[in-house]
Structure 1
Amino acid sequence: MFTRLLRRYADLSYNKLVTNLTSTPKAKPSDLTKVPFGTVFTDHMIEADWCEDKGWSEPVIKPYQKIPLDPSSSVFHYCTECYEGFKVYSNPPHILSFRPMTNMERFVISADAAGLPKCSPHELLKCIDELIRIDKDWVPQVPGYTLYVRPNMFGTHAQLSVTKPKKAKLVVIMSLVGPYFPSGYKPVSLYCDESLIRSWPGGHGHRKIGGNYGPAIVPAEKVKNLGYDNILWLSEGYVTEVGVMNFFVLFKNKNGLELVTSPIHHTVLPGITRDSVIQIIHEWGEVKMSERNFTIKELITKLEEENVVEAFGSGTAAVICPINKLAYKGKEYNIPTVQGNCGELTKRIFDELTKIQYGKVKHKWNHYIA
């Protein structure tokens, strides 16, 4: 069905890519340590428009600039929006990204969930690769610093009715980002409360759409004011995610060690880092890897019995984020970090993933751009 639709309407096409380079390149920051996350953008961006009766326009690489939008555009009223994010790494003489096609495939699925048009993930990635090549001088050469790629699609249909937008815009921008832990790798503390809900069965918590993240900002701030770094989200008593990351916990059972994470469903995002962790653990074959439902009651019981070995979050920004504390129903539980700032398995996974991401080892997940 999707193939037939692509034949009927114009799909996004790399072969139609138009390039319009800036004549006034920006000055690059002299000190990356003073650049806040996602505030400094490269010289160029990608822009393409879609309309219901014609399909996609030719994509254009153009100087980074503001976008004029009608105030009645559906994105402003009904959050008809989706996005993605992945990093570009420097390993001289190469620059590369980490499993970007998986991001593109997830982007297309999220667009559909937000009532937005689909596009070819392969063609979109080819366009993005060209954008990266054009702005390759922006890829940081300093260890721990990367170029963050943000594809974004949103409804531009100027109408206040609650319907699928008949017009949409695709934009890809890129930003300088530093290490998630600028002062050194360190664990975070979590706060858990059944009244704080990010996603729910039958919803769209498994998609990268803006409506899943905006409402989580205020609860996150409240938790920080209580002295904790992040939220352990629950859905009907089941543990789902931590902040904007997937959650993993290493249990000690009578039959050995079990690394557990919630399965993908309507309340859990199919994280690319999450999937990478699962594949690595299966390949190592040293501990049992389980994608299963588990409740906060099971987690607390394991903590009380001292059968939690370690825990961490996984995501694009942090890669692997160690966890050392959980607050639940007025009581704090310490989570072991035997290496001082993390668990042994946590650090081993982090090291393995970052080696692959920076191209220190050859791997099927390496995507070389230049």
Structure 2
Amino acid sequence: MDRTRSARLRRVLVAAVAVVVGTFVLIPGSAAAAGTGTITGYGGKCVDVSGAGTANGTKVQLWTCNGTAAQNWTVGTDGTIRALGKCLDVSAGSTADGAKVQLWDCNGTGAQQWVANAARDIVNPQANKCLDATGVSSADGTALQIWTCGGGANQKWTVPGGGTGGGGGGGFVVSEAQFNQMFPNRNSFYTYAGLTDAMKKYPAFATTGSDTVKRQEAAAFLANVSHETGGLVYINEINTANYPHYCDTSQPYGCPAGQAAYYGRGPIQLSWNFNYKAAGDALGVNLLNNPNLVATNSSISWQTGLWYWMTGTGGAGTTSHNAMVNSQGFGVTIRAINSIECNGANPAQVQSRVNSYNQFVGLLGVPAGGNLYC
């Protein structure tokens, strides 16, 4: 929020940028199962390990469903898809159309990360491409590959348990597993349940427009949040020397919680007495007198972030929500949240936000769209 931002956050979060920039990496190991069984696709055929082989590089293909171990897949909550003790893998970690999909030792790389979304795509976020039956064929032995997502029947899959990996509590387009992948080092205060509970206050958030737009908005919100908090690590503003500066004594209600009580807290780092007053009034919570609720109640904390996302315009002249649902681009959300970074004033900070957004839309299996910078 333009008046809730200052150099303190930008200085504090420079050291934390490394936490959130780049492709997430998961530690190899046994994955908790989101579902186990067959993955069916084009022509009603099953995803199959050729010859039930377990050698690295074994072809993964379509085959008539037969109930064997070669067709028994575990979709892990860590983003892996496993069979015969090995992981579904993009050959050589390629991001090119036509890169073959194979079986390989699980290693936690982006080549082995998959997201099954509500559109029934299985997306490799590293490449931002879909699992695809080569040649639009359903013949036994058809090799699987990755290809630019096009919505064709040869890219549609049904995963074990009917899960999609693309939605969560209250219909949120980001599942809890995806949320955890986005924020592997997050503070336990920032819970997924807190976020989905907060969304009840703003039911239009990430539910407006096409499925792509919903995911883009969710990614944009979480990318800005990631930047503001160093990957959901920080709850309170770190630079305590700034704390007394956020009391605007010209306001008729003053600063009843104390001169130094209105420092940055929560996912959008709510600051200043007038913002605590406005957010509290909107949310039905007395934040002016009890500002620390933003640092002690996960749902309220998330609510303040959504409050600004849905209502604050900053230097953009529109809300971040409206910018995303009207396809104005991620860059407009940066201008709404912290326009002081824009127009070349702090390109490193803008790039940090864009990096997180690109990562998150990749994880959610949608394009980033245009106008990413401000």
**Shared fold, TM over 0.5:** no
Greater strand proportion: 1
Query: Rg: which structure is higher?
Result: 2
Greater helix proportion: 2
For normalisation by structure 2, the TM-score amounts to 0.25
